[in-house]
Amino acid sequence: MKFRCLLLLLCFSTLMEAQSASKPTLAEAEQFISQAEARLNELNTRAARAGWVQENFITDDTEAIAADANEQSTAAVTELVEQAKRFDGLALPPALARKFLLLKLGLTAPAPKDPKLRREMIEIGTSLDGDYGKGKYCRRPDDCLDITAIERIMSSSRDPKELQEVWTGWHKVGAPMRQRYARFIELSNQGAREMGFKDVGALWRAGYDMTPEQFNAELERLWQQVRPLYLSLHMFVRARLAQHYGANVVPANGPIPADLLGNPWAQEWGNIFPLLGLPESSRGYDLTELLKAKNLDPKGMVRYGENFYKSLGFAPLPPTFWERSLFTKPRDRDVVCHASAWDLDNQDDLRVKMCIQIRDEDFITIHHELGHNFYQRAYKGQPYFFEGGANDGFHEAIGDTIALAVTPEYLQQIGLLDKVPSADADIPLLLKQALDKVAFLPFGLLIDQWRWKVFSGEITPANYNQAWWDLRLKYQGVAPPVARSEADFDPGAKYHVAGNVPYMRYFLARILQFQFYRAMCKEAGYNGPLHRCTFYNSKPAGEKLNKMLAMGQSRPWPDALEALTGQRQMDASAILDYFAPLQKWLDEQNKGQKTGW
């Protein structure tokens, strides 16, 4: 009996030791994350280099190489997320717990564990990106237009027939993507569910330091803050376009045809400013003409952007930036011309990829893209998992904050403008700004509203296109210029859908950039009308900005927001402050007209 008890005790002790041995410790969790960071940093660098080559030399071979690199990175994250489940329930310090969360959120397209399915998904994603980059509309066999040419025509043409033709021609690029896109969604959702998320949309929304439900409510709150200003702008633009094109082209109380708003997606309307009834000279200057008068080349345009950041106290960009970036569209090959900023090694190999044209739009875009590069360098000292924006909206907002400070006062300081226009030019300047900044807000909101519903299954492949235009009507008040059907796939004519780039970041960026801008103006000691502020050469404003940038993703975004603005909640009131004079003017112009569509 005594022997039996001793044997049972020994067996129990052995069992407890085995359980104890399998129970994870804090030290093991720290070691796991350290090894994961080293592994993913190496794979990320490889994938970034392969992606750079693929987007700059679009061939079957480079697409295959990029797919291989992406598959390795995706497989590693998928494997590490599975292994990390061992540490679920273990009490972790906040910073370590945050790294585990960010590991889970590291893929915008989580892949299935099955290697064959994972490979299939990666190849589909790469092919969709390549299809967009190679996309062309051929009016004749010898007259094929890429997206750069399409944008140029739609920004300047005032012929409604040509605009409709070119708009329709470009949107054909999406149709061949439709079936593959549906399969991509199916496979990516499988990967998300295997990671413990309801679907990919739930995973995307989990990256904002709040629940998906809280995030949805936050977006609605912000939209309601700015919606009245958008409605006023829409009403004014519709009336002026109706005067120009006639009521048979633009209905007096209906949605605006999407091909008449100055670009292929009707996302920003600044190019139609000349049609709105204000004298061409009313803004006091034409930035495109000022740039051309300087005989600038694309690199010269980028130098202006770099100099702004340097004036705030940031170090110059590394020499390799100028050697390795793509500034102009090559004549001998297709490239993905959509402007983007790259950090290839999480250290100093910073680059931009743009097909720069000497025009005001690209001048602003340069300031935007460089914002990514300076942010990337500011947080390069952080651990791998913290090398990112406080949230993705922050990353998009930095360069736009700087671009808001590209005011007449700034242009005079850098020698592009001889004389600052009088206050009489404020309304035209604000209107031009609103046509880009305010007009974009509902577009920025609806792209992911559509995708989240696609991921959840609320929108099925059978009604992809109808649901797309339903949302565009609801939020933007725009309609397609010609009848559309489910044979079309108009979302695929937008790069971020074909490239699987989350888009809510751009809506948040439009909110945050004005909030950042107002805070930096205050730090620079500026006290005048908000829209006339520039903080160029303000080292105090630059120091405050750099403090936030250097935090990377190491803390929840309210902490980063507070470091620059003193606020812990995103707030659209800065937009309303900035455009207050314009809102008053629009109300006067819109008297007697019907709101909405």
**Buried residues in 145-171 as b, exposed as e (16+ CB within 10 A):** bbbebbbebbbebeebeebbbbbbbbb
CA separation for the pair 288, 546 (Å, rounded): 31
In contact, 218 and 569? CB cutoff 8 Å: no
CA separation for the pair 411, 290 (Å, rounded): 10
Nearest-CA neighbor of 315 among 48, 517, 524, 549? 549
Q: According to DSSP H, which parts of 206-358 are helical?
A: 212-245, 287-293, 298-311, 319-324
In contact, 455 and 461? CB cutoff 8 Å: no
CA separation for the pair 399, 495 (Å, rounded): 20
Q: Is 588 a catalytic residue?
A: no
Q: In this structure, are strands 256-257 and 478-479 parallel, antiparallel, or unpaired?
A: parallel
Q: Is 234 a catalytic residue?
A: no
CA separation for the pair 69, 51 (Å, rounded): 8
User: From the candidates 63, 268, 369, 387, which is the catalytic residue?
Assistant: 369
CA separation for the pair 104, 457 (Å, rounded): 22
Nearest-CA neighbor of 101 among 212, 216, 213, 206? 206
The DSSP call for residue 255 is P
Q: Is 338 a catalytic residue?
A: yes
In contact, 428 and 283? CB cutoff 8 Å: yes
Task: Count the Cβ atoms, other than its own, within 10 Å of residue 279.
Answer: 8
User: From the candidates 206, 339, 425, 580, which is the catalytic residue?
Assistant: 339
User: From the candidates 464, 495, 506, 536, which is the catalytic residue?
Assistant: 506
Q: Is 372 a catalytic residue?
A: yes
User: From the candidates 171, 338, 367, 395, which is the catalytic residue?
Assistant: 338
Q: Is 171 a catalytic residue?
A: no
CA separation for the pair 553, 380 (Å, rounded): 11
Residues with Cβ within 8 Å of residue 112, at least 6 apart in sequence? 78, 118, 121, 187, 190, 191, 194
CA separation for the pair 109, 99 (Å, rounded): 19
User: From the candidates 372, 410, 479, 493, which is the catalytic residue?
Assistant: 372
In contact, 87 and 21? CB cutoff 8 Å: no
CA separation for the pair 208, 558 (Å, rounded): 10
User: From the candidates 171, 234, 367, 368, which is the catalytic residue?
Assistant: 368
Question: Quick one: which H or E segment has residue 479?
Answer: strand 478-479
Q: Is 506 a catalytic residue?
A: yes
User: From the candidates 496, 509, 519, 531, which is the catalytic residue?
Assistant: 496
Residues with Cβ within 8 Å of residue 222, at least 6 apart in sequence? 507, 511, 570, 572
CA separation for the pair 98, 473 (Å, rounded): 39
φ/ψ region of 209 (left if φ > 0, alpha if ψ in -120 to 50, else beta) reads left
Residues annotated as catalytic are 338-339, 368-369, 372, 396, 496, 506
